[in-house]
Amino acid sequence: MSFNSIRADIIADPDNAWAGDLGYLPLYEAGPHARIALIGQAPGRKAQESGIAWNDASGLKLLDWLGVAETQFRDPNLFALLPMDFYYPGKGASGDLPPRKSFAARWHRPLLELMPEITLTILIGSYAQQHYLAGRTKRNLTETVHAFRDYLPDTIPLVHPSPLNFRWQARNPWFVTDLLPVLRDQVATALGSPRTSVY
């Protein structure tokens, strides 16, 4: 399989016909030399309509957390951006609907098999963590993220960088003081420019 054939198969999949009817294309980025896999939830409406992943306030915050420039983040040979569903799922009663449960299980593996140079996987939110850390998550999202050292050096769990999470960050100051320096070090190392922090 190739990146092009997988994309064509995703578009042609009958399960995604509804998205095609809306004019949506699968929103993800992947390149053969990607070093970091960033697994999120599903595109937001703004990102889906623009055709640019993380094209919103959450994306700006994420860049700050990672300590990278947007040009690096948008380079598919550095970052593979693989949400748990490649299509905006629509609105629910209290925010966006969750990603479809079967989507990542079907489409992530063939893409990741084409990216053997990935050394770091960043899991954003509970859907990504429950899928990729099956049986290894803690009691809830906060405890899983707080235990980030348990998953090093190849995986780091994060909360979603939504501006709406400011209250969570205020209640959990360790996220900024303890986790973010480690995250930036691990990202820099994966991209080939190691830092010197000790943790």
| 196 in any annotated domain | no
| 197 in any annotated domain | no
Enclosing domain of residue 54: 3-190
pLDDT score, position 197: 42
- Residue environment code for 147-186, b if the CB has 16+ CB neighbours within 10 A, otherwise e: ebeebeeebbbbbbbbeeeeeeeeebeebeeebbebbbbb
| 199 in any annotated domain | no
| 136 in any annotated domain | yes
Q: Provide the domain count of the chain.
A: 1
Please give the chain's pLDDT, 199 residues, in tens. Answer: 899 999 999 999 999 999 999 999 999 999 999 999 999 999 988 899 999 999 988 999 999 999 999 999 999 999 999 999 999 999 887 778 899 999 999 999 999 999 999 999 999 999 999 999 999 999 999 999 999 999 999 999 999 998 888 899 999 999 999 999 999 999 999 999 644 443 3
| 66 in any annotated domain | yes
| 114 in any annotated domain | yes
- What type of residue sits at position 103? F
Residue 169: both structure tokens together: 């960050």
The secondary structure of 104-149 as a DSSP string is HHHHHHHHHHT-TT--EEEEESHHHHHHHTTTT--SSHHHHHHTGG
Closest alpha carbon to 53 in 26, 24, 73, 27: 27
pLDDT score, position 193: 67
Residue 139 per-residue DSSP state:
S
| 198 in any annotated domain | no
CATH number at residue 169: 3.40.470.10
